[in-house]
Amino acid sequence: MKERRVARKPHLWEALLSFGFLILVMAVSIIKYEVDPHIPMLIGTLFAVLMAMKIGFSWNEIEKSMFDGIYQALQAVIILIIIGVLIGIWLASGVVPSMIYYGLSILKPSIFLVATVLICSVTSLATGTSWGTAGTIGIALMGIAKGLDIPAAVAAGAIISGAYFGDKMSPLSDTTNLAPAVSGTDVFTHVKGMIPTTMVSYGITLVFFLVVGIQYSSGSSDVSTINIIREGIISNFNVSPILLLPPLAVILAMAFKLPAIPGITVGIILGGILGFVFQGADLGVLISAAYKGYVSETGIAVIDELLSVGGLMGMMSSISLTIIAMMFGGIMEKTGQLEVIVNSLLRRIKSAGGLITTTVLTCIFSNITMPEQYISIVVPGRMYAKAYKEKGLHPKLLSNALEGAGTVTSALIPWNTCGVFLYGVLGVSAREYARYAVFNYLAPIVVIIFGFAGLFIYKIKDDPDTVIKAAEER
């Protein structure tokens, strides 16, 4: 009888080769051919499969490792689905338009740059997308900045700082759901865990733009574009402060530790009811918006582009990339390839601050070499999840580091998908706006400082109920 081959421990060079191949195929595909990262990620996964076979793992073992990796992200997948539904419902019901309308009301020429940060923050929080914010409201604000003789790089920095703050903190954002999924906690715990470091970075950002903006406060103001957006919203939606109740309900659900899925569902139900009351949206309109997304037909290009999003189908690109990335992570983790790399990196690291710093630097390295925001969250997340657990550190420390570096620094890399997109819509390259995107480079610095200072170092034992166990631990 033929003996079953026993898998051995991988060599460091073999694990690095798996990562190196992924880095190569991602970099070439995204930078040279400008394609989406899904197929390059799948190609990298197939190479990891071949390496696992070389090490001695059977196909059944490799297949199970992929399933286990996907299992880690199932909660995030479900949340992404219902968030797609929520965005569609909130758009059809006037919730998001109301949030944007009131956000734009704070624009004052004398504090244009600070107002720009706040407006983009509100918009990104409401929609969960930094790209959507920069590509719509951001374009309008760039036009106003030109009329006020504010340098384009400075205005772009304010727009990007606000947009990425909202993206980082919004429970509607795909990255905000992806980071806790790969770390091992839930989205509400993750968001609350980010508050200390994020608000310090955000506060410094606001002060910076307040000081810088003073020198431009004497410029003549042309806010016609903003007025067009506000008038377009008020002409096509019944705007009311009552429509702010659904997002308030979701925030309260987070505060009272209601699980993420029912908490978001409460927001969907409230949004649907208010959509019927305020917009006259019937069940068919709401179901269509929940599935296909809302289609804005105001005739005003900037509004229609901003508000024509959402729906379950609108989340499928993020969901499929999450699944593929977790397949790669599952293989690398279960075949021991992650372990040998992490052990070599962490051999001399003993403190929580050192581990957090290593995570941050790995995320930045991923954004540079595998220029896609999602990958800079998934790969480092799977690399270090076990190390945090072994040190008794709560997964929300890991997810905070992933968001504090992986999400925000993507905009600072000219060849990253985020840097390329922002250059396309704002007309300013990352090389020009990077020094003014204060929030984006402050966030990882503050995370590192907090880590070494021992501030808000959460332990698993302090909040064990918010730690999601891996499949093999259940």
Helix ranges (H only) for 170-259 are: 174-183, 187-214, 224-236, 245-255
User: Angle CA(10)–CA(382)–CA(42) in degrees, nearest 5?
Assistant: 80
CA dihedral of residues 434, 436, 437, 439 (deg, nearest 10): 130
Tally of helices (H runs) and strands (E runs) in the chain: 24, 0
pLDDT at residue 259 in the model: 76
Residues of the chain with pLDDT under 50: 1-2, 471-472, 474
pLDDT at residue 471 in the model: 47
Task: Identify which of 185, 291, 278, 189 has the alpha carbon closest to the alpha carbon of residue 239.
Answer: 278
Half-sphere exposure of 196 (CA within 13 A, CB side): 17
Residue 6 corresponds to which amino acid? Answer: V
CA distance 428 to 446: 26
Q: Identify whether the C-beta of residue 322 lies closer than 8 Å to the C-beta of residue 73.
A: yes
Residues 6 or more apart in contact with residue 139 via CB below 8 angstroms: 302, 425, 426
Furthest C-alpha separation in the chain: 88
Q: pLDDT tens for residues 122-161?
A: 888 887 888 878 876 787 788 677 766 788 999 999 999 9
Query: 185 has which bridge partners?
Result: 467
pLDDT at residue 1 in the model: 44
Q: Identify whether the C-beta of residue 425 lies closer than 8 Å to the C-beta of residue 139.
A: yes
pLDDT at residue 34 in the model: 80
Taking each helix axis from N to C end, the angle separating 260-274 and 187-214, rounded to the nearest 10 degrees, works out to: 70
